Structure 1
Amino acid sequence: MNKLIPVFDGHNDALLRLLEQPSADPVQSFLTGEAPAHLDLPKAQAGGLVGGLFAVFCPSPGEIDRAAMQADAYDLPLPNELSLEAAQRLTIAQVAILQRLANASNGAVALCRSTAEIRAANARGALAAVLHIEGAEAIDPDLYFLDVLYAAGLRSVGPVWSRTNIFGYGVPFRFPGLPDTGPGLTDAGRRLVAACNRMRVLVDLSHITEQGFWDVAKISDAPLVATHSNAYALSPSPRNLTDEQLRAIRDSDGLVGLNFGTGFLRLDGRLDTSSDPELLVRHLDHLISIVGESRIGLGSDFDGTKIPDAIGSAAGLPVLFDLLRRHGYDEPLLERIGYSNWLSVLERTIG
């Protein structure tokens, strides 16, 4: 039997799932694995997932028409903007769930604020959770709430999701389409990036427009990181990265986290869970050919998208590594992809 590769994962949406699920006790649901999900503690332990960026995401009112994303082409309206009050309420609730998970887990889950804390948690067998926000709608123009969130453990910020906010512009739900869809950072967004650099908070470039990507690249002194994005050359979604963007990430000694979402893997962009998991291998091949073996990791998007049935959940991570072995990836490279590349870039960003 092949050994279990430890995985630090660049993105999951478990906190929102726990907030929205009907269970009266979302904390126990995560710890015991009571509910259907991509990610909970038993699935993480079964699949070798030892840590990750746990996203706080605040959905807009109304549902995205995901059925339309089964077509060969689609162009959905941008989700509605979210008020500061609503975003802060949803953010506080999800941060509290993560804190309660850590408190109630008897040491099995640790909220980590540094790479040293991640390594220490992993050494004692704990799941290392780093707090991330996906879309900065909860942060006010004066950035006061950024300080509050930092004190609560925040170490990674995606300035935008796929909707406009005061900090910038996100890419739409469109297929096919280039990431060059409009403006980038606003003045407030530039101040946010500068503040994150000062505070050693990672700036996540997934979801931002191409102009926003280059705006961050111009003003940031930190490695460029896209926590859960794939190769545009293989799947022409605006959410994916062009080869030019990948070269910029390489040149900054940053990192790309491979997204398991089928809509960002397939040439036709469809959300289809029957998709061949070999698509993940093809994207890894392309990404590595540009960014190199030391700048690639995983960014599954567990509980946030539709992933191949062959993987199914965090418990299925060994399926991916077995595919990579058969494709010729050796054990040291698998360990870098699964774990140490992420730890390396985190050391150079959050400390």
Structure 2
Amino acid sequence: MRDVYIVECVRTPLGKGKDDGILRHVLPVQLLGTSLSEVAKRAKLDAKFIEDVVCGCVSPINQQGGNIGRLALLQAGFPVSVPGVQINRMCGSGQQAVHFVAQAIASGDIDIGIGCGVEMMSVVKMGSDTGSLLFRKEFLDNFPYKLIHQGASAEKIAVKYDVSRKDCDDFAHNSHLKAGVARNLGFFDDQIVPIEAKQQDGTVITVTEDEGVRYPPNRPRGVVTAGNASQVEFLYSLSLFFKNERNKQCKEITSILGGEKKKITDGASAVLLASADAVKKHNLRVRARIISRVVVGSDPILMLDGVIPATKLAVEKAGLKLSDIDLFEINEAFATVPLAWQKTLNIPWEKVNVCGGACAHGHPLGATGIFFFYSFRFLSFLQLVEISPFLKFFLTTKKVLY
């Protein structure tokens, strides 16, 4: 199998996935198209050499339908000879898109490809492609597992792994704090492509930062106000998110606050991958090499702790130990998930989600898996500003529904 290299990656700023979200009036195809054109531009690569584009999108319907992967590359101005496809592996769709491109390169089928993802959750609501199918009586009566909402699963994770409400409170706070510090240091400046976004009042603004981070970096902890409460107090005062909705599915409703789960979010992202031959031929800059890829199944009721065996297997296949990994990225769909993962694997917190995660930035379902690949940008950034010794390995892991 051939080596696969990460050459470049970009993402859009992330907007709240609500009717008043800052990206609400940008079409999904435009958001993804901007990411695609920018990733090729930054790699200094003529798009005619891109041999496939694989796009993760969890709700491929309405504005995200019609094979948005192909439509977006045409929107980006790529030649019509460049193919594109949309895939869905739920919240892991973006990361799976990268896997598929990496597999094609490793096998020799292609030399250059893009893995990308998009989700405009303000426009195409989560679950709009399935409706209530998965919770209908006629489906559940004949299905071997009694599926529940993932929020109820997150509560079950809290019970199984002994994760407390305070643990979740502190984790969510730290996610916002780390995101604010990283923004203040300028880490996100060169990974985000600015987006021109029309607003509800008809004005057009340039969006360059994530809308959901609660900690402006130029103010100390606890100073930013939300009504009469500080942002810290505001996070801690949010109501239990699934308290009323999910009591019938999980009696142990104890931990999930509105600030301790991922945000419904708009966003898009793209990663350009290449073989060693392509790197040499096109004089591409190599940022990282993919050395292990895994996918695992797990209990469809708990559904969220598959990240634990996936982490173990990925490290094992790479011929490494957990202690060899310098940085970890794990999705913060719910605070209980990374807390359970860390408690089980005993990963030092200073290595985990160093720039915050979905609790702060948000979780545009089909695109989030791509964001994890920005860890290599952080490795380079640390070396650039000379605040860390050389770091070599990073690992990303993503939970998937069911």
Structure 1 and Structure 2 fold alike (TM over 0.5): no
TM-score bucket of the superposed structures, by smaller chain: under 0.3
Larger relative contact order (C-alpha < 8 A, sep ≥ 6)? 2
Normalized per residue, which structure has more helix? 1
Q: TM-score, normalised by structure 1?
A: 0.24
Greater Rg, structure 1 or structure 2? 2
